Amino acid sequence: MSHDQNFKNMLLDYPLEALRFFAPAEAQKLSGHFKITPLRQEQLKRRLGDRFRELDCPLQVEWPDGERAALLFAVEEETEPRHFSIHRLAHYCLDLAELCQTDRIVPVVVFLHAGRCAQYLHLGSGGEPYLGFRYVACHLPRLSYATYQDSDNIVACLNLLNMRYDAQDKVAVYAQSMRRLLCLEQHPDKQAKYIDFIDIYGDLTEQEQQQYQHDYPEEERIMMGRLAQARQEGWQKGQQEGWQKGRQEGVSAGIQRGAAKMLLAQLKLKFGTEVSATVHDQVAQADADTLQHWSEQLLSAQRLPQVLNSQPGQ
Mean pLDDT score of the chain, rounded to an integer?
82
> 12 to each of 7, 19, 145, 187, how far by Cα in Å?
9, 11, 24, 15
Return left, alpha or beta for 311; rule: phi > 0 is left, psi -120 to 50 is alpha, else beta.
beta
| Per-residue confidence band for 47, with pLDDT thresholds at 50, 70 and 90 | low
Residue 208, in any domain of the structure:
no
Instruction: For residue range 214-227, list pLDDT tens digits in order.
Output: 888 887 777 776 66
Residue 42, in any domain of the structure:
yes
Residue 59, in any domain of the structure:
yes
| Per-residue confidence band for 247, with pLDDT thresholds at 50, 70 and 90 | very low
Any alpha helices (H) in 109-205, and if so which ranges?
Answer: 145-148, 154-158, 170-184, 188-202
Residue 195, in any domain of the structure:
no
Whole-angstrom Cα distance, residue 89 to residue 67? 29
> 137 to each of 159, 188, 214, 264, how far by Cα in Å?
15, 32, 38, 74
Looking at the fold, whether 10 and 130 belong to one and the same domain comes out as: yes
Looking at the fold, whether 106 and 1 belong to one and the same domain comes out as: yes
| Per-residue confidence band for 251, with pLDDT thresholds at 50, 70 and 90 | very low
* Residue type for position 130: Y
Q: Which residue segment(s) compose the domain that 112 sits in?
A: 1-142
Per the structure, the count of domains in the chain is 2
Bridge partners of residue 136, in order along the sequence: 108
Residue 26, in any domain of the structure:
yes
Is 67's pLDDT higher than 80?
no
Instruction: For residue range 157-187, list pLDDT tens digits in order.
Output: 999 999 999 999 999 999 999 999 999 998 8
Instruction: Give the DSSP H/E element, type plus range, for residue 260.
Output: helix 217-271
Instruction: For residue range 106-118, list pLDDT tens digits in order.
Output: 999 999 999 999 9
Residue 136, in any domain of the structure:
yes
Per-range mean pLDDT, top range of 92-101, 102-111, 270-279 = 102-111
